[in-house]
Amino acid sequence: MSVAIESEPTPLPRAAGLALAALAPAAVGGIITAHFAAVPPVAVTPAIVLGVIAATSPALYIALAATGEAPRVPAVARAVAVALAAFGIALTGFVLPATFLSLTSVTDPTPIVIATIALGGAALLGMRRLARELALNSLSAWLVFGVWSIATLGIAGRLWWDMARELVP
């Protein structure tokens, strides 16, 4: 027996997923806060996630429009919301294992590495869902999406690193 891989994506509970997209990064920031007794990661982590998406998603639409492959604005907004919900749901699934691994670690950089892996994994899953929701059809649209994804991950990664490096002695 095999499961069809190319089936339609499972509908996500948008409101719950978006709430998780805002709360799950705070939980990951809480992992760092618990280890380092520093409050900023709880507030900074959701700000990084939501701020980077808010700042870069218009650039994705503009670049896709330049290729002639952009869906209508409401479809792109819906795709971003669904992808953000997918990110929140994925990150929620990573929070408990990340918390366990972080609380049982004995070295200072370990919780940051674990939180980075959890955030990065959820971001990749969210971007995969965004690509699927956008239904990109041309090579130029895929190239635009790839460059945007790399740039978005780079910006978020740099902001995360700037926050995290201040915590490690």
Are the CB atoms for 53 and 80 separated by under 8 Å? yes
- In this prediction, residue 43 carries a pLDDT of 78
Residue whose token pair is 């998603």: 57
| CA–CA distance, 140 with 25 (Å, rounded to integer) | 32
Neighbours of 41 (CB within 10 A): 28
Torsion of CA 57, 59, 62, 66, to 10 degrees: -130
pLDDT tens-place values along the chain, 169 residues long: 444 455 555 565 667 777 788 778 888 887 877 777 776 777 788 888 889 999 999 999 999 999 988 889 899 989 999 999 888 889 888 988 888 888 888 887 888 888 889 999 999 999 999 999 998 888 999 999 999 999 999 999 999 888 888 877 7
| CA–CA distance, 18 with 14 (Å, rounded to integer) | 6
**Chain segment 149-164, per-residue pLDDT in tens:** 999 999 999 998 888 8
- In this prediction, residue 37 carries a pLDDT of 74
- In this prediction, residue 8 carries a pLDDT of 58
| CA–CA distance, 141 with 12 (Å, rounded to integer) | 25
- In this prediction, residue 6 carries a pLDDT of 54
Per domain, the residue ranges of the chain are: 14-164
Q: Which pTM does this prediction carry?
A: 0.83
Are the CB atoms for 118 and 52 separated by under 8 Å? no
| CA–CA distance, 63 with 162 (Å, rounded to integer) | 28
